[in-house]
C-alpha cells in the first residue's frame, strides 16, 4: 500500500511537471482578465470537465472571486440567462483541439 501511494504521488508530480512545461504567458492574461473583471467567472464543461469545473468554481469562490458553473446543455435550454455582459467564460474540455 505504501509503495502504491508513493507511485501515485510520483505520477502526479510528473503530470504537474508536464503541465508546467505546457503553460505560457496566456495563463497570466487569463488571471489578469479574471481579476480585473467586474462580472462573475462562469465555468462550463460536460462530463468529467464539468466536475473539474465545479471544483475550480468552488476554489475561486472560496478565494473571493465570484463564480458559478454552467452546464452547456442546460445553457441551451434557458440557463444562458445567468450570463451577463462582463462575465468571464472559462470553458473546459478534455479534447486536444
Q: Name residues of the chain where pLDDT drops below 70.
A: 96-97
φ, ψ dihedrals at 63, nearest 5°: -105, 10
Q: How far is CA 56 from the centre of its chain?
A: 5
Task: Report the pLDDT value the prediction gives residue 56, as an integer from 0 to 100.
Answer: 95
- Round to whole Å and give the CA distance between 33 and 29: 6
Write out pLDDT tens, residues 2-22: 999 999 999 999 999 999 999
pTM for the whole structure? 0.76
Amino acid at each position: 500500500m505504501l509503495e502504491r501511494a508513493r507511485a501515485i504521488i510520483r505520477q502526479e508530480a510528473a503530470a504537474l511537471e508536464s503541465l508546467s512545461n505546457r503553460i505560457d504567458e496566456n495563463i497570466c492574461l487569463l488571471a489578469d482578465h479574471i481579476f480585473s473583471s467586474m462580472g462573475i467567472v462562469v465555468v462550463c464543461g460536460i462530463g468529467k470537465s464539468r466536475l473539474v469545473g465545479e471544483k475550480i468554481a468552488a476554489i475561486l469562490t472560496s478565494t473571493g472571486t465570484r463564480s458559478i458553473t454552467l452546464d452547456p446543455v442546460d445553457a441551451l435550454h434557458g440557463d444562458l440567462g445567468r450570463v451577463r455582459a462582463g462575465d468571464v467564460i472559462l470553458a473546459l474540455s478534455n479534447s486536444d483541439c
